[in-house]
Chain A
Amino acid sequence: MLVIKNLKASIDGKTIIKGISLEVKPGEIHAIMGPNGSGKSTLAAVLAGREFAEVTEGTVTYFGKNLLEMAPEDRAKEGIFLGFQYPIEIPGVSMVNFMKTAVNEQRKHRGLEPLSASDFLKMMREKKELVEIDSKLANRSVNEGFSGGEKKKNEIFQMAMLEPKLAILDETDSGLDIDALRIVANGVNKLKRPDNSVIVITHYQRLLDYIIPDVVHVLYDGRIVKTAGKELALELEEKGYDWIKKDVGENNLK
């Protein structure tokens, strides 16, 4: 569904993504790990269409279409969901209103009638249960005054509401206590269908105990420097990134 070829992107003239190629097939779960500042969030931002990162080279196709030409809202309507590393607060805008607008925009895109208020509230209730989010959170303004963990849970709740084809979860596990981690991971698993895919960006192996990836990539200095099965995550947990950095260094010398 998603094919990235030799993608390069820069911020303020500085190259951050330095040539990434990656293919995600329907139903796959990919994990992306890598040290701080290596470009994981930037990659996610480029895929979601955030303008501050400028694509300088390469292509991204999504279901055969040129993703890079699509407006961010159209990408969302075509089923791309980004779970933000730092979810944004929108004071005064209720979650209900926000989600209703989003859900109905996406329905419109698919040629469906907007949901009635009662159907919508019913859907909210069901999804809240599914992801075990506190009812009260959904009655407040979007992320306003939410704790770090609550914000992350709220991202998963939105994912449940929007049922994306490709979810990119950027460190949705950081800042979560053990129970919340389980809730978030269970949520992702419950939402998993055979044909939708997930990219999880994480620093911790423990999330991958719950969400079992098909592939693990290591992103380092704007490049994918290693790709392997789920056992790679364990290895990283044990040994850190130094051995990979060394490998890369040696390769670069050649």
Chain B
Amino acid sequence: MEKDQDKIINDVTSGEYKYGFYSDIETERIPKGLNEDIIRTISRKKGEPDWLLEFRLKSFRHWQTMKMPGWANLKIPPINYQDIIYYAAPKQKASAENLDDIDPELKKTFDKLGIPLEEQKHLTGVAVDAVMDSVSVKTTFKEILAESGIIFCSFSDAVKEYPDLVKRYMGTVVPYTDNFFATLNSAVFSDGSFCYIPKGVRCPMELLTYFRINSANTGQFERTLLVADEESYVSYLEGCTAPMRDENQLHAAIVEIIVENNAEVKYSTVQNWYPGDKEGKGGIFNFVTKRGLCRGENSKISWTQIETGSAITWKYPSCILRGDNSTGEFYSVAVTNHHQQADTGTKMIHIGKNTKSTIVSKGISAGQGQNSYRGLVKVLKNATGARNFSQCDSLLLGDKCGAHTFPYIEVDNQTAIVEHEATTSKIGEDQIFYCNQRGISTEDAVGLIVNGYAREVINKLPMEFAVEAQKLLQISLEGSVG
């Protein structure tokens, strides 16, 4: 079985997707299927308190009354939720505080992904929570962060060690009834990261959570909760990859952010799930609910996302601007090549006075890729002085792909100023030729031009991520022109 898998992987590896390998790690899996027993099993495996099990069951019962949403501009094949494994965990001694307790194969996997688990090996200034399938395998620099009162740990550990914090915030931004996939996540979620930045603390490191799907037939349902207390700041990063497989795998996550007075959270994602092969076979279904609440005055949330992977992306990182003078930002680059589909964008909900939001979305479509921007700017009655600026650009490579924009604007306050600009352009043959004439191959020229087009967004990423993102953009468009 494992051997077959290796063969399949080798066969489909044509060099484009660098992270498509599978690691032979001893893994504990529960049976396929979804029912209350499965949920009890997950909860028991995680040693959870009763209130959390109740939350899961309540969510599951609600989910059973729901239907998969059909409004997105996506062709989603039917998903059999009984055919998915909802919990798979690398076998190792529980919560490895000591690095020697971690399976060497696991260490090797993360080394290969460029995310070493040894602190001394790591890029200085980045603390990592590494999640494989359903569990967090290691969180680095926990102690150093703890010195300034910062909590950065796996969600499971947080439930055990900081139950009050988890109870206070979980589900307050994305309620368990929110939407089909969020409700499913609330029932079966496994690991993710928890982060709390106390009052007045500027987090001295970038915090990174790296998600890896490894096991076959499993879904990943992680949950991340980030709380920035008054006057604090954190820059949080998220990366993800998965092996190449012929089957589709489901990833349905929740991210909740709460930001208090004068605090700021910068949340950056480089999403590189396996996109499927050139014929559209396999790939991750990425159905994610991300939402931040600017609860305090002058608070700020900035989402930056580079979406190059996944067969289907359904994702709208949003900001609820409740505090007066709070700010929400959304910077996005989404690439769809071959048969990839993306329906992504944001919601900016202006509730407080003088709230500001900025949306910059850059869609890139190649091959037969379909890319939709969907965004809502909503200004409520009391949001006097609210301002929004949206810019949605689409770049087309070739003539079999598509770009679509669905902007929704709802304004209930006369003083609000909402601006929307949209452009669609084709990558110019004359631009490519100009590069060719200087000795640059067409493939590299496309990389350059696309990176130039996306620069405004890439510049928002922390340095190391920006370099990675640039390479990724180029790789994901290989073979799309010429």
Which A positions have Cβ atoms within 8 angstroms of B? 48-50, 71-73, 75-77, 81-82, 84, 87-93, 97-99, 101-102, 105-106, 109, 141-142, 158, 162
In-complex Cβ contact of B448 among A72, A73, A90, A106 (8 A) = A90
Output the residue of B437, B440, B444, B451 with the most chain A CB within 10 A: B437
The distance from the CB of A47 to the nearest CB of chain B, in whole angstroms, is: 10
Contact A49 B436 (CB under 8 A): yes
Contact B451 A93 (CB under 8 A): yes
In-complex Cβ contact of A76 among B439, B442, B452 (8 A) = B439
User: A73-B436, A73-B439, A106-B439 are contacts. A88–B428 as well, Cβ < 8 Å?
Assistant: yes
Chain B 296-313, CB within 8 Å of chain A: the 1/0 string? 000000000000000000
Contacts of A84 in B (CB 8 A): 434, 437
Contacts of A49 in B (CB 8 A): 436-437
In-complex Cβ contact of B455 among A50, A77, A92, A101 (8 A) = A92
Contacts of B169 in A (CB 8 A): none
Q: What are 25 contact pairs spanning A and B, CB under 8 A?
A: A48-B437, A49-B437, A50-B433, A73-B436, A73-B439, A73-B440, A76-B439, A77-B439, A81-B437, A90-B434, A92-B453, A92-B454, A92-B455, A92-B456, A93-B448, A93-B449, A93-B455, A98-B448, A99-B438, A101-B440, A102-B438, A105-B444, A109-B439, A162-B438, A162-B439
Contact A92 B451 (CB under 8 A): yes
Contact B448 A82 (CB under 8 A): no
Contact A101 B444 (CB under 8 A): yes
Q: How far is the CA of A151 from the CA of B435 in the complex (A)?
A: 15
Contact A76 B448 (CB under 8 A): no
Counting CB contacts under 8 A, is B10 at the interface? no
Q: How far is the CA of A105 from the CA of B438 in the complex (A)?
A: 9
Given contacts A72-B433, A92-B456, A102-B438, 15 further A-B contacts (CB under 8 A): A73-B440, A73-B441, A73-B442, A82-B437, A90-B449, A91-B452, A93-B449, A93-B452, A97-B448, A98-B435, A98-B438, A99-B438, A101-B444, A105-B439, A105-B444
Contact B448 A88 (CB under 8 A): no
Q: How far is the CA of A200 from the CA of B426 in the complex (A)?
A: 32
> B interface, by DSSP: helix, strand, loop or mixed?
helix
The distance from the CB of B82 to the nearest CB of chain A, in whole angstroms, is: 47
User: A101-B440, A105-B444 are contacts. A141–B452 as well, Cβ < 8 Å?
Assistant: yes
Q: How far is the CA of A72 from the CA of B444 in the complex (A)?
A: 14
Q: How far is the CA of A112 from the CA of B453 in the complex (A)?
A: 30
Contacts of B428 in A (CB 8 A): 88
Contact A88 B431 (CB under 8 A): yes
Contacts of A87 in B (CB 8 A): 434
How many A-B residue pairs lie within 8 Å, measured between CB atoms? 75
The distance from the CB of B202 to the nearest CB of chain A, in whole angstroms, is: 30
Counting CB contacts under 8 A, is B421 at the interface? no
Contacts of A109 in B (CB 8 A): 439
Q: How far is the CA of A72 from the CA of B442 in the complex (A)?
A: 10
Contacts of A50 in B (CB 8 A): 433
Contacts of B456 in A (CB 8 A): 92
Counting CB contacts under 8 A, is B2 at the interface? no
Closest 8 CB pairs of A and B: A92-B452, A93-B452, A102-B438, A72-B436, A76-B439, A92-B455, A88-B434, A105-B439
Contacts of B399 in A (CB 8 A): none
Contacts of B444 in A (CB 8 A): 101, 105
Q: How far is the CA of A99 from the CA of B454 in the complex (A)?
A: 19
Q: How far is the CA of A49 from the CA of B454 in the complex (A)?
A: 29
Contacts of B455 in A (CB 8 A): 92-93
Contacts of B449 in A (CB 8 A): 90, 93
Nearest neighbor of A106 in chain B, beta-carbon distance: B439
Output the residue of A71, A75, A88 with the most chain B CB within 10 A: A88
The distance from the CB of B206 to the nearest CB of chain A, in whole angstroms, is: 24
The distance from the CB of B281 to the nearest CB of chain A, in whole angstroms, is: 32
Output the residue of A75, A77, A82, A91 with the most chain B CB within 10 A: A91
The distance from the CB of A107 to the nearest CB of chain B, in whole angstroms, is: 9
Contacts of B441 in A (CB 8 A): 73, 105
The distance from the CB of A226 to the nearest CB of chain B, in whole angstroms, is: 29
Q: How far is the CA of A81 from the CA of B433 in the complex (A)?
A: 12
Contact B431 A90 (CB under 8 A): yes
Nearest neighbor of A50 in chain B, beta-carbon distance: B433
Q: How far is the CA of A101 from the CA of B438 in the complex (A)?
A: 9
The distance from the CB of B330 to the nearest CB of chain A, in whole angstroms, is: 19
Counting CB contacts under 8 A, is B430 at the interface? yes
Nearest neighbor of B459 in chain A, beta-carbon distance: A92
Contacts of A81 in B (CB 8 A): 437
The distance from the CB of A123 to the nearest CB of chain B, in whole angstroms, is: 15
Output the residue of A48, A73, A141 with the most chain B CB within 10 A: A73
Contacts of B433 in A (CB 8 A): 50, 72, 88
Q: How far is the CA of A76 from the CA of B435 in the complex (A)?
A: 10
The distance from the CB of A98 to the nearest CB of chain B, in whole angstroms, is: 7
The distance from the CB of B335 to the nearest CB of chain A, in whole angstroms, is: 15
Q: How far is the CA of A81 from the CA of B453 in the complex (A)?
A: 26
Nearest neighbor of A77 in chain B, beta-carbon distance: B439
Nearest neighbor of A107 in chain B, beta-carbon distance: B439
The distance from the CB of B391 to the nearest CB of chain A, in whole angstroms, is: 13
Q: How far is the CA of A77 from the CA of B190 in the complex (A)?
A: 54
Contacts of A48 in B (CB 8 A): 437
Q: How far is the CA of A253 from the CA of B428 in the complex (A)?
A: 44
In-complex Cβ contact of B440 among A75, A82, A91, A105 (8 A) = A105
The distance from the CB of A68 to the nearest CB of chain B, in whole angstroms, is: 15
Contact B436 A71 (CB under 8 A): yes
Q: How far is the CA of A83 from the CA of B456 in the complex (A)?
A: 29
Q: How far is the CA of A162 from the CA of B456 in the complex (A)?
A: 29
The distance from the CB of A25 to the nearest CB of chain B, in whole angstroms, is: 23
Contacts of A76 in B (CB 8 A): 436-439
